[in-house]
Amino acid sequence: MEAKVKRLGILTGGGDAPGLNAVIRAVAKVAESAGAELYGFLDGYSGLIRGNYRKMEKRDISGLLHRGGTMLGTNNRDNPFNFPVQEGDEVVYKDMSDAALENLEKLRIDRLVVIGGDGSLAIARELTRKGAKIIGVPKTIDNDMQGTDQTFGFDTAVTTATEALDKLHTTAESHHRVMVLELMGRYAGWIALYSGVAGGADVILIPEIPWKMEKVAEKILSRQKEGKPFSIIVVAEGAKTPEGEKIIRETIKGSGDPVRLGGISYRIADMVEKVTGFESRATILGHVQRGGSPSPFDRILATRYGEAAGMLALAGEYGKMVSLRNGIITWVAFEDIPQGCRTVPPDHQLIKAARNIGISFGD
Ligand SMILES: Nc1ncnc2c1ncn2[C@@H]1O[C@H](COP(=O)(O)OP(=O)(O)O)[C@@H](O)[C@H]1O
Ligand SMILES: O=P(O)(O)OC[C@H]1O[C@](O)(COP(=O)(O)O)[C@@H](O)[C@@H]1O
Ligand SMILES: [Mg+2]
């Protein structure tokens, strides 16, 4: 293929997700076969603003497919429109988007591939309005992005969470306990729902479905009556308490979305002990869900996304995000991507199926 475009840039933004390296590899391979150069910006948008980059050579992309994380580094704080700058003893937040655009121009980067979640791609959309020519690739373990049916990283996170559930099962059964597993996902319950079903949870609590302690206790006690004096509860970090409170672990100064959720599982374990008399323990699985080698599904999805993004960029397209629709890779214009996070519809088919096989959602 003879490319219109001769020099591509690439960066990864937001929390890392298994499959980032597989996307980078696919973009690099299509660029190489079209005779185009590829420049990788380091640590997300901060590399673009500060001009920290590396030219990607053939040797850089070998051995990448199965590697977790991102070889380029990433960052889930920095926003070019509100970027921390040291002024004397003080850190002040400034609009540094012009510096980002100037670096693209200085390096004569024709098209930039941004691999990121809703936050990083919202920034990409703003930069596009200012003249940057960007192709987006949807990433996040949370699977909460609008404009696509699935993000890469989700399948691996679900696999990791399912393995954790299998392990919690044996100890729950041995000790006749209720084990509560808290999973990531921010304001969406996708990881909790999918791994809860895959791991045989008895109760799944997600932000999308308000729940009551009595209903959770009912499920635990009915299992006890059936001769199963142990239970597994999966809870999404974004699930609220029955009183509607979301549990925040910390707020990160300067971040566009400063809230970091965490801790609901401890509240639930305490309530379960009080209400049912069962001994209960909480586990927060945490960043293990973001790490490790991508599953075959994620390697394939990431490769398909990377190939499509590279081809679009090389053809001179921009202002588009690659997307998966009904098993087909396609694209969606940035301005046609609905705002906000894609949460689990409470009437999702998997929720119905889960209810029909006896899983409680606490409602
Ligand atoms: N809705 C938003 N609009 C604009 N910028 C955002 C938004 N949400 C987050 N950001 C910025 O985007 C960066 C990346 O967002 P984050 O949610 O951490 O990762 P991701 O790209 O995976 O969604 C954050 O540092 C934050 O500054
Ligand atoms: O790494 P941090 O700053 O603790 O952030 C944790 C958050 O990032 C995630 O792991 C991934 O979210 P993003 O893909 O939007 O970055 C969330 O599930 C979690 O709430
Ligand atoms: Mg996000």
Place of tokens 């049912």: 276
pLDDT digits (tens, 9 = 90+) for 80-125: 999 999 999 999 999 999 999 999 999 999 999 999 999 999 999 9
- Say if residue 47 is in the same domain as residue 136: yes
Q: Is 84 left (phi over 0), alpha (psi -120 to 50) or beta?
A: beta
Which of 16, 43, 142, 298 is catalytic? The answer is 142
Domain count, the chain: 2
Instruction: Assess whether pLDDT exceeds 80 at residue 4.
Output: no
* pTM score over 0.95: yes
Instruction: Assess whether pLDDT exceeds 80 at residue 254.
Output: no
- Say if residue 263 is in the same domain as residue 222: yes
- Say if residue 32 is in the same domain as residue 175: no
> Is 142 in the active site?
yes
- Say if residue 321 is in the same domain as residue 269: no
Amino acid at 280: S
Comparing CA positions, the residue from 244, 245, 287, 241 lying closest to residue 265 is 241
Cβ–ligand 2 distance for 185 under 6 Å, the answer: yes
- Say if residue 234 is in the same domain as residue 305: no
Residue 52 CB contacts under 8 Å (≥ 6 apart), including other chains: 41, 42, 43, 46
Is residue 346 within 8 A of residue 211, CB to CB? The reply is no
Residue 38 has what pLDDT? Answer: 98
- Say if residue 135 is in the same domain as residue 16: yes
Instruction: Assess whether pLDDT exceeds 70 at residue 2.
Output: no
Answer yes or no: is 1 within a domain: no
Q: Which string of b and e fits 340-358 if b means at least 16 CB within 10 Å?
A: ebbbbeeebeebeebeeee
Neighbours of 213 (CB within 10 A): 16
Helices 264-276 and 213-225, axial angle in degrees (round to 10):
60
Answer yes or no: is 50 within a domain: yes
CATH number at residue 24: 3.40.50.450
- Say if residue 121 is in the same domain as residue 169: no
Hey, which of 72, 120, 151 would you mutate to test ligand 1's pocket, going by the most ligand atoms within 8 Å of its Cβ? 120
User: Which residue's CA is the nearest one to ligand 2's atom 14?
Assistant: 140
Answer yes or no: is 140 within a domain: yes
In this predicted model, which residue has the larger pLDDT, 215 or 255?
Answer: 215
Answer yes or no: is 53 within a domain: yes
CATH number at residue 276: 3.40.50.460
Answer yes or no: is 338 within a domain: no
- Say if residue 16 is in the same domain as residue 134: yes
- Say if residue 24 is in the same domain as residue 60: yes
Answer yes or no: is 105 within a domain: yes
- Say if residue 236 is in the same domain as residue 206: yes
Instruction: Return the ligand 2 atom nearest residue 237 CA.
Output: 20
SS3 percent helix, strand, coil of the chain, rounded to 5, is 40, 20, 40
- Say if residue 91 is in the same domain as residue 204: no
Range of the domain at 310: 7-152+294-325
- Say if residue 319 is in the same domain as residue 231: no
Give the confidence band of 257 by pLDDT, cuts at 50, 70, 90: confident
State whether the Cα torsion 274-276-278-283 is positive or negative.
Answer: negative
d(CA 300, CA 290): 17
Q: Is 342 annotated as a binding residue?
A: no
Answer yes or no: is 281 within a domain: yes
pLDDT digits (tens, 9 = 90+) for 267-297: 999 999 999 999 999 999 999 999 999 999 9
Average pLDDT over residues 204-219: 98
Answer yes or no: is 226 within a domain: yes
Taking the CA of 259 as reference, the closest ligand is 2
